[in-house]
Structure 1
């Protein structure tokens, strides 16, 4: 576990977010774009509009990339350090965290912060939530800010008349939002859209059409924690192929995003038989796994800005970190099944020589399996060196 803490620090830089602190910037804050975020989702998060973000960040009109830093007006953001009062909300049928957040002009994270069970459990009809309301600092009478009970679509939306063959999926994709976000803009929306029906949508679209050739293509809704790697495994489509069909996806994938994909890919993957290996678990003795991946920590520097640039430019490092995150998820799942797992992590530095050095200087007698080392030449080196130890090497290639 020698590099475990360092790897965690490097991974954290991907999703870090800093707040400006100088007095002259008191009305603004900085936001580091996270994977899957769009200008629209960021605007909603901070209770502002895309127009205001574009005004402060002109380059954002061309799209935002992961780790880009935006200046955000902080007027409508709830100040968690100030006095907060609450309003009780009873969850109604079809309501989502997003729609409730929109209703009270707060973020989903604000709701979760004061309703801790939502971090682990799904929202249920009939349950009561504590919704935070910030106290107006300029109110000398002690009255709190009131929040409208009706959904406010704001100036960042417009009316749209539904055309023939258009669906929720198509319109959500056209405007770069999720089904939940579309329904939050239109609380009274039915199960299906009616031709000629007028609905609220974001003021700007990300594609030109809400329909597609149903003989060749279909819509796909991105599931929780799905990234390009998982879709590659699930659908057989590379990141480049997905982005070519959905240009807005170059900013990253997010839960609920609607993608246009070839129909054949879904059909072929739907017909694949699946086996639940979980039901066959019998040997639950403690396991020791060695992880060998090219984290390239030898190239990391003390300067976090330079490290962020390295992450952007080093595809191998990004893949290694993503793969490592998946390994950690797998070990947590194993623990849930009653299997204790010890994980040793080694940085191969993308060098076959380093792989040999790791194996020769460490005891692999008690290791049950090696996962890695990602690069083909390194895999061959590891397999040859461990052949006498009878240790299997499981690998994936870049």
Structure 2
């Protein structure tokens, strides 16, 4: 049994009702009587129920009889109560008071008056845990009996281990088995310094903030009991919200949230040109169904434009004036040169397209405006013009993004990297090894490559100590190598667990059963992530289906996101490149975190890390 100070902080505001004093204590404890609610007690004290709840963030509105709570001292100078019966059950010695002052000035709380941060007190509740390290042959039942707790209590203390519900343990797993609570008072100013914070901007919502920082609404509510309206999805511009404690700060917390601001003159219009290879001339005498049957390009281009159309509708609805011109660039964008020679793009403020990478430099050279390359190409690393904006991250960015996440998450895992002898795989292996070893605690990394065409399972398990948790990072896109690595993780020695990561989820993973991917906690770096429950996503899906009688593909969403993001940034009245310095935007399922360099094209570093859950749903890890 190990006793460790694993601290979990919950906060609530305590407003100073009066600051005149002798030696009386401002706050005392009170024992709740049978049938009393927090409202009943607040009414007798002549204070607001929500202030009483803020003093007692771990107590609900209907506490059990004999629960000890903190209340304002009815005897304290300046405090008012309408009934002295509450004094019968109070004990002054049991509570730490707010620091007293000798000032005789009385400051009465006023909801319409903002108080200085150093006069507002915060109750900090610290939990000190007793922990237990799981030994061989131990069971959930045995542990609960040993510490005289119920299984439900064990689950509540250890939400990070949901498999406890199924009585599953891992040797070496550290479980919290008992919690001791301590309450202290600190100033709001000090409290905010101990947190990553976010100041609410115009148009921001609870959903957009939780999505940006990848936290749940419940997390936001728990950390901000002084903002109870979060529960109703209401926040005010200028409010300072806690996101997470400084100890848990992530590298991405330094990013700014791009704010959509429309600042155009009434007569101003944005001219946008789309260069898309519809190849309409080739399909003049072809049935529409035959055009799209097994024609990947035709589906990609058409879906992209259908998504862009909805983005144009949304932009128009916000009062933004634009002219959109759509050009069919023909087979392999063969008509691009003709468009440039005829000055067809001369009036454009921005160009989305062309689709083919070998035509992008030609457009950038012939046009005087930003050129948006709308999807990924393995050749995009060769782009040199500063006018070119790449909307999808390259493989090196994927690899570095995974390194950053793993370094933040590392907790003693045993690390394997699986690759092959291709140049791309070897480059990724080198980046992963050098990046991960910058972490002070990562000393050894096992690199496995095929021998005689495959990788034996024993090459993994022989290096997996009993009770270890292992990370398997795959850089290869070879079908056999990927299958060997995944299949080896399905059944492991008793007490050994593993999580598999991929730098990219390529075609090799589409050949694997999704249930198998879920079983091994498969996680990967992704260009996009969809929250199907988001109102914005539901609205887009409905609108797309009503207009096109089908559900949107990834390319349709990409068409919407890219078009909407570019036009909203231009509607700010600033140069497009200048808006890239003002923050990261997340649209329906794509993130735009543009990185400007002194020379060369602009890159998008907006990525996610996504994990398969047991129910086959996808969870965003980063």
TM-score by shorter chain over 0.5? no
Max Rg structure: 2
Q: TM-score, normalised by structure 1?
A: 0.29
Q: TM-score, normalised by structure 2?
A: 0.19
